[in-house]
Structure 1
Amino acid sequence: MNRPKISQMEAYMIETLRTNNVTNEEMIQDVKEKDVSKWQKLNEKFDFEQLIVLAEKGFSSFEQAINEGYTVKFVTVNGLDRLLRLKFGKEPEKDYQRLQTGVLGLNIDTSSLEELKHMLSLNWKVEEDKSGVSVLLKGQGDFD
């Protein structure tokens, strides 16, 4: 399945809504009605109107991103850290070791790992070993 590609900021917004118990159906309906003002209180810094703009580019792709998952076009190291917290509830030093080039020893279940692999942009390499999962920028770390 080809997942729709979205920006890192759009992923933050979607996962922030999910963290605040906004359902997929509510997200889709509110965006369809172009009424996202009630979300502003969830994060004052986000411009949730961007999700309306995303949907206007292709509503079926937007629905697919919400219901079936998405790939983030380009994920930074800080973006990886934030997505691990928002989407998977993982905390640095507790669930993984944070590096300048990614993370090591990530403790994550199989289905979440598969979702993470699908979400990440092509500049990341994900590997499993006895210490957990490592997610490193390609061209960095021990494996290239």
Structure 2
Amino acid sequence: MSQWDAIVLESVRSLGLTDEEILHRTAQGDLPASRDEAIPSFEPLLTLQAEQPETFERAVTEGYRIKYNTLGGINTWIRIVFGREAEVERSEGIEGVASELTPAERDRLEPVLSIGWTIEPQQSGETNGEAAPYRIVPVRS
């Protein structure tokens, strides 16, 4: 799934719609208005549903992997899904997105990231379910 489609899907989810409601309302072309100025409309979901209905349904009900991530896209995804502001570092050689994540949030983000990205803990030891600092970085060879 494209990064933009994933961000738009998560924006719809953030409005409190269930998977069934998302599928039904998208099929009917009856999605609510976006409340996020960064997401001007939910039109991309209507297009995805019309052009690739099986892919869209699987993404909604089973999850997805983003085809290609960017630093800004990861930052936006974290903000929409977890309600956290992350820090983006764009300097060559140390690019990444820093954010506090709970273990559940880390586990939710990990399978969504495109191939070539990893989540690195920034402290050692058990967090007892509490949020801890992580960096989402490109895999370096």
Superposition TM-score tier, normalisation by shorter sequence: 0.7 to 0.9
Q: 2:108 aligns with which of 109, 112, 115?
A: 115
> Relative to 1, partners in 2 of residues 1:129 and 1:43: Cα closer, same or farther, differing over 3 Å?
closer
| CA distance in structure 1 between the aligned counterparts of 2:34 and 2:56, rounded to whole angstroms | 23
Instruction: Find out whether 1:55 has 2:55 as its counterpart.
Output: no
1:43 to partner: Cα distance:
4.8
Number of matched pairs: 128
Give TM-score scaled by structure 1 length.
0.75
Residue type of the alignment partner of 2:89? L
Structure 2's unaligned 5+ residue stretches are 125-132
Give SS of 1:136's match: strand
Give the counterpart of 1:80 among 59, 74, 79: 74
Are the counterparts in 1 of residues 71 and 96 from structure 2 also a CA contact under 8 Å?
yes
* Cα deviation digits, residues 70-109 of structure 1 (max 9, x gap): 11111111111111100111113xxxx43111123x3212
Equivalent position SS for 2:33: helix
Q: TM-score, length-normalised on structure 2?
A: 0.76
Name 1:21's counterpart in structure 2.
16
- Per the alignment, residue 89 of structure 1 pairs with 83
Contact 1:54/1:62 (<8 A) preserved: yes
In the other structure, the counterpart of 1:103 is 97
1:34 Cα deviation after fit: 2.8
| Offset from partner CA, 1:12-70 (integer Å, 9 cap, x none) | 2111112222222211001122333xx23535753423212212333232122112211
1:99 corresponds to which letter in structure 2? E
Q: Which has the higher contact order (CA 8 A, sep 6+)?
A: 1
Q: Which has the higher helix share?
A: 1
Structure 2 equivalent of residue 3 of structure 1:
none
Identity value in percent: 27
Mapped to 2, the partners of 1:81 and 1:15 lie a distance apart of 13
Are the aligned partners of 2:8 and 2:44 in contact in 1 as well (CA < 8 Å)? no
